[in-house]
Chain A
Amino acid sequence: MLRKFKEFVIEKLILLCGIASVIFVALIFVFLLKEGLSVFKFVRIGEFLAGRSWYPISEPAQLGILPLILGSLWVTFGAAVISVPIGLGCAVYIAEIAPGRTKEVLKGGIELLAAIPSVVLGFIGMVTLVPLVKNVFHLSTGLTGLSGSIILAFMAMPTIVSIAEDALYAVPKSYKEGAFALGATHWQTIWRVLLPAASSGIVAAVMLGIGRVIGETMAVMMITGNSAVIPRGLLEPLRTLTATIAAEMGEAVVGSEHYFALFAIGIILFIISFAINVTADLFLHKHK
Chain B
Amino acid sequence: MDTLNSLYGQAVFLLAALVLFTSFVMLAQSRVTALVNLFALQGILLAATTALVAIVQNSPHLIISATLTLGLKGILIPLLLHWLILRMGLHRTIDEVKRPLQLLLGAASLVVFSYYVTLPVVELSELETRNIIAASAASLLLGMLLMISHRQAISHVVGFMAMENALFFSAVVSTYGMPLVVELGVAFDVMVAAVIFGVFFFQIRESIDSLDVDRLSRLTETEENE
The answer on A and B forming one complex is no
Could you tell me which A residues sit within 8 Å of B by CB distance?
Answer: none
